[in-house]
């Protein structure tokens, strides 16, 4: 019956060995190297994609950093201008205040000087009037006996002498 079905142990073993050899050869020379190269390529592509993604991320980060720096530069510029302006305003205000102080001091000084001059003039005048009074009194006393009404003349003379500066000591 086995013969009738065409079953042959020898043939069966031959096919078994034949197939085993084919599996071994293909596993070693076909599947192993090709799967390895496919894996290597997949890995390389993955690495390249990762690298490209990382490069994109770095580029984005740099772009963000530049954008931030530009924004900072603008705001810093505005800050510098604002500070310079406020400083200039403060200086101007200080100068004006100083000028005002100095002007008011000068005015005060001038007023004091004027007061002092006025005082001095008043004192001088008092002295002169006193001298005049003493002189007039002495002249009147000198010529009293005459009683000829020359007191007015004496006074006039004294005033004249004073105006001519003869009494300036």
| Residue ranges that bind other proteins, judged by CB under 8 A | 5-8, 10-16, 18-23, 25-27, 29-31, 33-35, 37-38, 40-41, 44
Cα gap 103→110, rounded to integer Å: 10
Cα gap 55→86, rounded to integer Å: 45
Q: Which is nearer to other proteins, 42 or 126 (CB)?
A: 42
Cα gap 65→71, rounded to integer Å: 10
Q: Which is nearer to other proteins, 26 or 55 (CB)?
A: 26
In terms of phi and psi (left: phi > 0; alpha: psi -120 to 50; beta: otherwise), the region of 6 is left
State in angstroms the smallest separation of the CB of 81 from other proteins.
59
State in angstroms the smallest separation of the CB of 25 from other proteins.
4
State in angstroms the smallest separation of the CB of 52 from other proteins.
17
End-to-end CA distance of the chain: 177
State in angstroms the smallest separation of the CB of 58 from other proteins.
26
Q: Which is nearer to other proteins, 8 or 108 (CB)?
A: 8
Q: Which is nearer to other proteins, 31 or 167 (CB)?
A: 31
Alpha carbon 10 to its chain centroid, in Å, reads 103
The answer to whether 138 touches 144, Cβ cutoff 8 Å, is: no
């Amino acid at each position: 019956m086995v013969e009738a079905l065409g079953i042959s142990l020898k043939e069966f073993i031959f096919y078994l060995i034949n197939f085993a050899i084919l599996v071994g050869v293909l596993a070693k020379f076909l599947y192993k190297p090709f799967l390895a190269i496919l894996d290597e390529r997949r890995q390389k592509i993955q690495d390249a994609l990762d690298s490209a993604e990382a490069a994109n991320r770095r580029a984005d980060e740099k772009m963000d950093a530049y954008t931030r720096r530009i924004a900072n530069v603008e705001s810093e510029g505005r800050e510098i201008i604002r500070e310079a302006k406020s400083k200039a305003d403060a200086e101007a205000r200080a100068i004006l205040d100083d000028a005002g102080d100095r002007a008011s001091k000068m005015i005060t000084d001038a007023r004091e000087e004027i007061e002092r001059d006025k005082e001095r003039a008043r004192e001088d005048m008092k002295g002169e009037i006193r001298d005049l009074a003493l002189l007039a009194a002495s002249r009147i006393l000198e010529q009293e006996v005459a009683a000829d009404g020359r007191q007015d003349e004496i006074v006039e003379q004294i005033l004249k002498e004073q105006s001519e500066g003869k009494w300036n000591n």
